[in-house]
Amino acid sequence: MTDSPRAVENVIILGSGCAGLTAAIYAARANLEPLVVMGVEAGGQLSLTTEVENYPGFPEGILGPELIDRMRRQAERFGSRFAAGDATAVDLSASPFVVEIEGEPHRARALIVCSGASARMMDVPGERRLVGHGVSTCATCDGAFFRDQEVVVVGGGDSAMEEALFLTRFARRVHVVHRRDELRASKIMQERAFANEKIEFLWNTHVTEVLGGSQVEGVRLWNHETGERWEMKVDGVFVAIGHIPNTAIFENQLEMDAQGYLVPQNPGRSLTNVEGVFIGGDVHDHTYRQAITAAGAGCKAAIDAERYLERVGEAPGRVAGASTK
C-alpha cells in the first residue's frame, strides 16, 4: 500500500491507465477520495508507447508515459489515493464489495473496473526488451516513426490487416508474418491488404526472435512447412495477435462476452449487471481502443458511480461504517 486504507472505501478504481486515472480525477473532484489500484502494468498501454500525437490538447505531441504521469498528478491533486500491485480477487456478491489487493482484503461501496486489455505478445527473445524501441503493439500510435522504413506485422486477423494497411502510409515495405497459410481477417480486409503493393505476406512463418541492441534491427524467422530459418533486416515489429482483457477475477460475477470483455448493461453507459460496479476503457471496448475514448469512458464510469453513491445515500465524506443497503 502506498496510501492508508479506509474501513470501507467510497470507491475503488481498478487500473491506472487512461480510463482509471480519468475516473480517479472525476471521483476525487466529487470528494470521494478514490483508491486507485495501479495494477501490474501501471499506467496501462500508454506507458508502453512513445510519442502520442492524437491526444487533444498537445499539438506538439506528448510521450505516453508523460501523459500518464500528468494524469496521475492531476488525480492526486484532488485527493486520489494509490495502491501498488494488482487486484487478485473480488467478491461482488454483497455490498460493500470485497477487493483483494495483492491478497489483502479491502471493502468498497462502489467499484470502477478499468483494468484494460493487454496486447497478446509472442513471447520470443528480444520482444519485450525492445518494446518502445521498434517493437510496438499500436500502429496508430507509432506508425509515423517508420517513414520510409521496413517493418514486420505479426498476425493474420483484422487487427493485423488494419495495422499493415495503416503502416503502408509511412513504411516503404510491410511484411505480414502469419503462422498459417490463410488469414483469419474478414474478406474485405484481406482484399484490401492483398491489393496493396507495399504489403508482402510470409505464410506458415513464425518470428522466433527480435534482433537488435538498443533498437530493432531485424527478426529471425522460421517457416514450419519448409523448415527454412532465416534473418530479415527490419526497423520495426508490430505485434497484432490479439488482446487479452484483464477480467479473469470477474469470472462468474460480471457479465462478459465470449472473448472475456465485460459487457455494459445499457449501450453507452458504464453500468454492469452488479449494481454499484461500473466499467470504463478497453476492458469493455474492443472497437475503438484509443486513449481518448478510454478517458471518456473512465469519466462516464466515475459520474455513474458518484450518482449511484448519492442515490443509495452514501454522501462523500461518510467513509467508514454502514453498508449501502
Active site residue 141: yes
Distance CA 47, CA 15 (A): 13
Q: Catalogue the E-assigned strands of 159-224.
A: 173-177, 199-202, 205-212, 216-223
Which residue's C-alpha cell is 496486447? 119
CB 82 within 8 A of CB 16: yes
Among 241, 249, 254, 299, binds ligand NAP (CB under 6 A): 241
Q: Which is nearer to ligand NAP, 209 or 275 (CB)?
A: 209
Q: Which stretch binds ligand NAP (CB under 6 A): 71-79, 109-117, 176-184, 224-232?
A: 176-184
3-state DSSP assignment of residue 66: helix
Active-site residue, 18 included = no
**Minimal distance in Å, beta carbon 273 to ligand NAP?**
23
Round to whole Å and give the CA distance between 183 and 14: 35
**Nearer CB in complex with ligand NAP: 219/309:** 219
Decide whether 35 or 160 has the Cβ nearer to ligand NAP: 160
Question: Per-residue x/- mask for ligand NAP, residues 272 to 291, rule CB under 6 A?
Answer: --------------x-----
Strand partners, 51: 63
Question: Hey, what amino acid is at 148?
Answer: D
**Is 114 known to be catalytic?**
no
Catalytic residue among 18, 114, 141, 299: 141
DSSP state of 111: E
Distances (CA, A) of 194 to 160, 165, 177: 13, 10, 14
Binding mask 186-225 for ligand NAP (x = CB under 6 A): ----------------------------------------
Site of interaction with ligand NAP (CB under 6 A): 120, 122, 154-160, 162, 179-180, 184, 241-242, 286
